Amino acid sequence: MMEQYQQIKDQYPDAFLFYRLGDFYELFNDDAIKGSQIMELTLTNRSRNSEHPIPMCGVPHKAVKNYVDILIDQGYKVAICEQMEDPALTKGMVKREVVQLITPGTQIDTGAENAKDNNYLTAIMSQDDGESYDLAYVDLATGQLQVTTLASFDELTNEIINLQTKETVLPAEINLEVTELLNKLGILISHNANQEVNSATSYLSQNIDSEGQKAVLAQLLEYVRATQKRSLDHLKKAVAYEPNYFLEIDHNSQYNLELTKNIRTAKKSGTLLWLLDQTKTAMGGRKLKQWVERPLISRDAISKRQEVVEDLLNHYYERNQLTDDLIKVYDLERLASRIAFGSVNGRDLIQLKTSLEQMPKIRHALDSFTATSLKKLSRNIISVDDLVDLIEQAIADEPPISVTEGGIIKDDYDKQLDAYRDASKNGKQWLANLEAQEREITGINNLKIGFNRVFGYYIEVTKANSSKVPTERYQRKQTLTNSERFTTPELKEKETLILEAQDKSQSLEYELFVKIRDTIKESIDRIQQLADIVAQIDVLQSFASVSEEYRFVKPELTKQHEVKIIAGRHPVVEKVIGHQKYIPNDILMPEKTNILLITGPNMSGKSTFMRQMALTVIMNQIGCFVPAESAVLPIFDKIFTRIGAADDLISGESTFMVEMKEANNALQHATSNSLILFDEIGRGTATYDGMALAQSIIEYDHNNIHAKTLFSTHYHELTTLESELPELKNVHVGAVEQNGELVFLHHIEDGPVDKSYGIHVAKLAGLPSSLLDRADTILTELESEPTKTISANVTPTPTEQITPAPIDVKDQQMSLFAEQSLDENDEQVLHALRHLDLMGKTPMQVMNQVYRWQQKLNKETSD
């Protein structure tokens, strides 16, 4: 047996081998040692008395899924090795083989908590130029299969992160940087050198023209075929797509805007997806996530979705009936995959029947609306009455989970099955009659007829009544401590008939179930078509429900280069803090206003205002209504953000380097139809460096890109650019001082802010009062001289470098000591001040140095 085990294990060295032994799956050697720790199992030994005992642990076959899930969730592979023969009918070693290799990317049953998430397995191949890549991905649970070509490594990185894939299939040779990227992201790498194009692969890729895309599809599908070892009839034909078919949002922007994942908790709660999700089906939930991640850029497609949302909003009672029908629809996509895989059970088929029974009701509900798009969807809800009738006639209303132990097929469906059941039922009645008869003949009142799998049917008599047993008819079968078990010629005869009927009945039931499953399998395309329509309807009704609940409005789509949002809100923040507390703001950017330069104190709401703009754009372009009193919006092609301050743990780069790379990405790829959000660009370096970079970026955007841009800053000197850059407008977040306390108004007002209120914010953070008083004194001294600003460069070229104008440091230094005569110690301080590298110091470093000088001067004065 161990030789057989090792031969199979050698074929799957990178997987845990679950080796079937009777009612258990066993793990041996290193698998057992490591697996027992991960799954918290007791580690034992086989051949423990030998010189080299074999470590082993095991799990019951009925509970295997829970243990497999534990390993898969931690990024491991599991090979399921089954007994391929009945041990009772086999002489010698039972044949075993791996029937499925389960991996993080091929896991199908991910649990109810993940029902609204896709699980993508990806494959990557580099093209001959070494710079572009072909990428394919599949969700085995839903049958979704897509392929694309990405022009650069950055595009590949963005797509891999956005797909949230757990496993990627690579060819034997690929760029080292791809492998390094996947390792840094914690994505399992699997290799597959075989790119065989068989008939199934050809069918699934028949709509693909690119040879590179066909090759990566072959690599992906061959890996799936090799690991799953079963039918893949539920896979849909591959669809080729380009990222620029949709509103492009890179993974950093998706992260910063918290579209699907909360920055603090990494959960769905607190995201745009969380706000919009009032879907009633798992299919709708997955479709909503896909729409949020890939908003549209087609004006016509956006208008059609919003037309449907408006129609649903205007028909409250009809919409409620529609949602009631949707609630009863189970996950048709995943049911179809289980049917194709052969893992569907009787309860799954009842769920399928219940779901398909809702289709005529959903179609009837849609016919009551007026939107053209809804009527088109209604016409595409095809009849599936034949499947409903088949399941209704064949499958028991409450079938068992097992498909091999009987009780799954209804009476009157098959005559032969009915005959077996009748024999079994009558046999049991005959046993009951025999028991009563023997009690009367023998006078043993507690005589009973029982059954076990080893001895079959028997007559049991307690030892106290053994003297009453008619030995001429009773034949002893088994002796127990307190009783004796017997049989009779009549009982043996009936036993044969009853057991034969039961065995044949169960075998026939399974055969019938398989035929029913295969019949339904022929209609997988129809089931998947219905699933897609139901998912779309579900998302659109969710948009209508959310829009009604939170008072969203239908935006006006304009072909002009203008944004006019009246009383706009950040929908997620508003939901969290409550409508009454949220202060709405207008966002007005006419045709010739492309940059809003936003100033205001920290914590006042600048970042929220900027995110609000982006979320409004995204909601519009997924077809939802938007959080405002009214909105006029163009169609944006890309969104770029630089919000927040954090090092990039993947690349190991500092905050400032990440900031510059993200800024460069926007400036290199943005168009006049893009939206750019820059939050305090330049704060990660020295003051004058940061100010110079911030101004240069604003000027470059203004003169070369003309994208709609929201740029927040603490460099108040930049507000003078309004007079020199005609497309730039100053706005600020209002704040007032009341009795020495800072009160945020959270309202956007025209013009620049008059001061930063930094010390007030520090006070709100709870810094010591003595520290705050000292900071206030230093601030007064630093503000005693007028600040010189840099004149705007209004006609820069992409290669120009802008540097700050020279500042007369000596004059500013002298003003600090103008009111006192200089002695030798003063001269030392002044000398140090002259040679201070202001450009290389942060404001806090300068402040600390000034404080030390002041302490020195004060000490000398007191002396």
- Concatenating the DSSP letter of every residue in 716-733 gives GGGGGGGGT-TTEEEEEE
- Tell me the β-bridge partners of 710: 596, 677
| 778 Rama sector, left if φ>0, alpha if ψ -120 to 50, beta otherwise | alpha
What is the reported pTM?
0.82
Q: How far apart are CA 99 and CA 83, in angstroms?
A: 10
3-state secondary structure 236-254: CCCEECCHHHECEECHHHH
Extract the annotated binding site for ATP: 600-607
Extract the annotated binding site: 600-607
Residue 376: its H or E element? helix 372-379
Q: Which two structure tokens, joined as six digits, stand for 514? A: 């398989």
Query: Given this model, what pLDDT does residue 802 score?
Result: 37
Alpha helices by DSSP H, listed for 63-198, are: 64-73, 153-163, 176-184
- All residues at 6 or more sequence positions from 251 whose CB lies less than 8 Å from its CB, including other chains: 157, 158, 161, 162
Query: Given this model, what pLDDT does residue 737 score?
Result: 65
The C-alpha angle 212, 213, 217, rounded to 5 degrees, equals 120
* Cβ proximity of 130 and 86 under 8 Å: no
3-state secondary structure 135-169: EEEEECCCCEEEEEEECCHHHHHHHHHHHCCCEEE
Residue 197's Cβ-count burial label (10 Å; 0-12, 13-18, 19+) is middle
Q: Which two structure tokens, joined as six digits, stand for 625? A: 């209504």
Strands 595-599 and 728-738: parallel
The CB density around residue 632, as the number of other CB atoms within 10 Å, is 16
**CA distances to 602, 603, 605, 859 from 608, in Å:** 11, 9, 5, 47
In sign, the C-alpha dihedral spanning 243, 247, 252, 254 is negative
Instruction: List per-block mean pLDDT (blocks of 10 residues) for the chain, which spans 863 residues.
Output: 93 95 94 95 83 90 92 94 85 90 89 84 90 94 95 92 94 88 92 70 90 93 91 91 92 92 91 97 96 96 96 94 96 93 93 96 92 87 94 95 90 90 82 90 92 87 91 90 91 82 88 95 95 96 97 97 96 91 94 93 82 97 98 97 60 69 90 94 75 90 96 88 95 73 75 67 68 70 55 46 40 40 63 64 62 67 52
